[in-house]
Amino acid sequence: MLKAMERDRANRRIEELRHQIEHHRWRYYVLDSPEISDAQFDALMAELQALEEEYPDLVTLNSPTQRVGAPPVKEFGAVRHRLPLQSLDNAFTALDLRAFDKRVKRLLGEIPIEYACELKFDGLAVSLSYQGGHFSVGATRGDGTEGENISINLRTLKTIPLQLLPVDPPALLEVRGEVIMTYPDFETLNQERLSREEPPFANPRNAAAGSVRQQDSKITARRKLSFFPYSVGVVEGRTFSTHGEAMEYVWSAGFKQPPAFRLVPSVEDAIAFCQDWQARRGELPFGVDGAVLKVNVLALQERLGATSHSPRWAIAYKFPAAEEITQVQEITVYVGRTGTLTPVAVMTPVVIDGSTVSHASLHNEDEVRRKDVRLGDWVVVHKAGAVIPEILSVLTERRTGQEPSFVMPKDCPVCGAETLRLPGEAVTRCTNISCPAQVSERLLHFAAVMGMDGVGPAIIVALYKSELVKDVADLYRLSIDPMLKLERMGSVLATKLLGQIESSKNRPLRQLLTALGIDQVGWHVAELLTSKYHSIEDFFAVTEEDLQALSGIGPSIAKSVVVFFRQLQTRRLIDELRQAGLHLEEESPSKTGALPWQGKTFVFTGTLAGFTREQAEQIVKELGGEATSSVSSQTGFVVAGEKPGSKVDRAKKLGVCILKEEEFVAMLEDTKR
């Protein structure tokens, strides 16, 4: 009886907390105007988490605690759209828009038409259904009639309410809109991918689409995605008379209001809106590829109806692709990790689509010749896939005749050694394997792939110039005192870097193989290799034929691997890495018996200096332990970094052992003894 009452009380509190959390999520992520501090927000979440742990049967799919993602799925189910998700007709000029307006008026009789003007978001269209105010299904557009059920992924987006905010939601509401990724989040994601040797996404649209269709929703949860609503589909239990009114309701229910939405009384005002945003699109932190005009009155929309693929009451005005004209000031040559010389055009900076462009890769000698880019040329640049700057063409009519043609240097611009372009190859290489550019690029690559996030270009150059580090094994010989002699290096930073270097020793073999920078061996190839070979020693013994027997490994990768491991320097390097304590064998738990942290549960809170949360959790898992996100009496240790959240308070209350980061590192060290 008492138990039932307690449960009832918990249930009510859970409901209350979920509403409060959704409200504050809306204030923070949608309105950018939080009413409470992060710590207060964390406390609400912790309380909810604790209650849900106590009453697991009260956990619902739409609880804010579930936004972190769910177990991966093999494939998504299909969703039939009750109303098809059509596409839009395109207009490219003001004349096209006036023709659209004429057609609308011809069909409706010559009445004044109010238009809703919106941005055309460049992302992935999705439909979100709410039943009784609760998020029920989220689907892709698919072919317009049937899409994929990606609800588990969409639940992780902080700009999508899991329950609608007003107290009196309609029985059924379908909100349609676009999932997008902002430029800064896109750049960060691609940087991370590059550092892991994963292929970067070509543009934010692909990144958004790829993220939302992930089979592992935990990955979606980590990607920074936003949702902008642009229309309502099926509605039951509420009526709207205009599109504007429907959108006002949607925004008030907890969705993000886009930066531009205007109701205008004439097509001429709508044209002004389109032209204004065409000029100002660069001010937006995300990609738009046009503007959309919609007849505002829903009864008129209905009268206009639709063709088989698009409504007659709306039209998309497409912006021309963003490009700019600028001048080539210099063609420099960059030397990469494998000694490749890459010509790069340095141009007078211009702003394209909101970011400044000043460099464009010209890839290789043939490409410079093909485009015939010369020093002093005026060129048209754009951002390929809206991201990577590219020279489209040269304005030869602007030449003065004084522009010198590009010549690939005979000597390496960094070390002065001879350069070589082999017959039949497009690349020119520096022949000196000790070329500082190659060495520092290799070091940088190694540090990035091994997850030493703080060991960036400036630190590598400083370590290299001071001769503290000449190859990757030297990184593991670093100690604090000599590091302190480097410019701008304090003991806090040095300790942090040493912590990161130390924790990189535990990376799996696949990661080490990738980090070694063997030509043509990125993450994927390293995975193929380690699926068969579990120790670095195996690679000293394999032949090209052995490797080619693996699916996905062709003759050129096989050769590259065998040649790499045939080098005396490689043998020496691997021996040094072994001495430093690196992980050179893939250990399977069955081979090694019990892992040292089997049965131990860790919770991380606050910011750690030497690891990201994911890295720390990965280490715990590799050692057989478990990393969870909430503290319970079952938790073994709570590791508290900088600015720990309420989890520490909870740990104290439950008597769970709280570790400082140093203590965690010490425990880690112990496992190796």
Query: Of the candidates 314, 497, 521, 526, which one interacts with ligand IVH according to CB under 6 A?
Result: 314
Would you count residue 180 as binding ligand IVH (CB under 6 A)?
Answer: no
| Listed ranges 105-113, 118-126, 239-247, 417-425: which one lies at the site for ligand IVH (CB under 6 A) | 118-126
- Whole-angstrom distance, CA of residue 82 vs CA of residue 314: 20
Query: Of the candidates 179, 250, 292, 322, which one interacts with ligand IVH according to CB under 6 A?
Result: 292
Query: Of the candidates 125, 246, 447, 582, which one interacts with ligand IVH according to CB under 6 A?
Result: 125
Interface positions, 57-96, toward ligand IVH (CB under 6 A): 86-88
CB-based contacts of 201, cutoff 8 Å, min separation 6: 186, 189, 190, 193, 207, 210
Look at residues 358, 363, 361 and name the one whose alpha carbon lies nearest to residue 347.
Answer: 358
Would you count residue 230 as binding ligand IVH (CB under 6 A)?
Answer: yes
Query: Of the candidates 148, 178, 185, 365, which one interacts with ligand IVH according to CB under 6 A?
Result: 178
**Could you tell me the end-to-end alpha-carbon distance of the chain, in angstroms, rounded to an integer?**
54
Structure tokens at 19: 């509403």
Would you count residue 231 as binding ligand IVH (CB under 6 A)?
Answer: yes
- Whole-angstrom distance, CA of residue 133 vs CA of residue 165: 8
- Whole-angstrom distance, CA of residue 514 vs CA of residue 268: 58
Question: Exactly one of 3, 74, 105, 120 is catalytic; which is it?
Answer: 120
Would you count residue 564 as binding ligand IVH (CB under 6 A)?
Answer: no
For ligand IVH, the closer of residues 311 and 451 by Cβ is 311
Query: Of the candidates 22, 52, 101, 118, which one interacts with ligand IVH according to CB under 6 A?
Result: 118
Is 120 assigned a catalytic role? yes
Interface positions, 186-205, toward ligand IVH (CB under 6 A): none
Instruction: Report residue 600: phi and psi, to 5°.
Output: -95, 135
Structure tokens at 532: 């068969």
- Looking up tokens 């190694």 gives 446
- Whole-angstrom distance, CA of residue 344 vs CA of residue 330: 8
Look at residues 592, 649, 650, 642 and name the one whose alpha carbon lies nearest to residue 622.
Answer: 592
Structure tokens at 56: 């697991």
- Whole-angstrom distance, CA of residue 644 vs CA of residue 605: 5
Residue number closest to ligand IVH, CB atom: 125
Q: Number of residues in contact with ligand IVH, rule: CB under 6 A?
A: 15
Q: How far is the CB of 90 from ligand IVH (least distance, A)?
A: 8
CB atoms < 10 A from the CB of 187, how many? 15
Query: Of the candidates 170, 311, 625, 641, which one interacts with ligand IVH according to CB under 6 A?
Result: 311
For ligand IVH, the closer of residues 26 and 230 by Cβ is 230
Structure tokens at 351: 């702003």
Query: Of the candidates 18, 24, 25, 120, which one interacts with ligand IVH according to CB under 6 A?
Result: 120
Q: How far is the CB of 87 from ligand IVH (least distance, A)?
A: 4
For ligand IVH, the closer of residues 294 and 647 by Cβ is 294
DSSP string, 233-292: EEEES---SBHHHHHHHHHHTTPPPPS-EEEESSHHHHHHHHHHHHHHGGGSSS-EEEEE
Q: How far is the CB of 116 from ligand IVH (least distance, A)?
A: 9
CB-based contacts of 430, cutoff 8 Å, min separation 6: 335, 339, 341, 412, 414, 415, 417, 419, 437, 438
| Listed ranges 116-124, 265-273, 377-385, 556-564: which one lies at the site for ligand IVH (CB under 6 A) | 116-124
| Listed ranges 103-111, 274-282, 308-316, 322-330: which one lies at the site for ligand IVH (CB under 6 A) | 308-316
Cα–Cα separations (whole angstroms), residue 379 to 37, 331, 516, 663? 50, 13, 38, 57
For ligand IVH, the closer of residues 250 and 292 by Cβ is 292
For ligand IVH, the closer of residues 140 and 217 by Cβ is 140
Structure tokens at 421: 């372009």
Beta-sheet strand order (sheet of 388-394): 355-361, 341-352, 323-335, 378-384, 388-394
| Listed ranges 91-99, 113-121, 421-429, 567-575: which one lies at the site for ligand IVH (CB under 6 A) | 113-121
- Do residues 179 and 246 make contact, with C-beta atoms less than 8 angstroms apart? no
Beta strands in 566-605 (DSSP E): 601-605
Q: How far is the CB of 118 from ligand IVH (least distance, A)?
A: 4
For ligand IVH, the closer of residues 319 and 565 by Cβ is 319
Distance of alpha carbon 634 from its chain centroid, rounded? 33
Q: How far is the CB of 123 from ligand IVH (least distance, A)?
A: 7
Q: How far is the CB of 233 from ligand IVH (least distance, A)?
A: 9
For ligand IVH, the closer of residues 81 and 507 by Cβ is 81
Q: How far is the CB of 147 from ligand IVH (least distance, A)?
A: 11
Q: How far is the CB of 142 from ligand IVH (least distance, A)?
A: 11
Q: How far is the CB of 26 from ligand IVH (least distance, A)?
A: 21
For ligand IVH, the closer of residues 228 and 378 by Cβ is 228
Q: How far is the CB of 231 from ligand IVH (least distance, A)?
A: 5
Helix (H) or strand (E) holding 459: helix 457-465
For ligand IVH, the closer of residues 14 and 113 by Cβ is 113
Would you count residue 293 as binding ligand IVH (CB under 6 A)?
Answer: no
Query: Of the candidates 121, 406, 533, 637, which one interacts with ligand IVH according to CB under 6 A?
Result: 121
For ligand IVH, the closer of residues 87 and 252 by Cβ is 87
- Do residues 372 and 387 make contact, with C-beta atoms less than 8 angstroms apart? no
- Whole-angstrom distance, CA of residue 614 vs CA of residue 604: 10
Residues annotated as catalytic are: 120
Give residues in contact with ligand IVH (CB under 6 A): 86-88, 118, 120-121, 125, 141, 178, 230-231, 292, 311, 314, 316
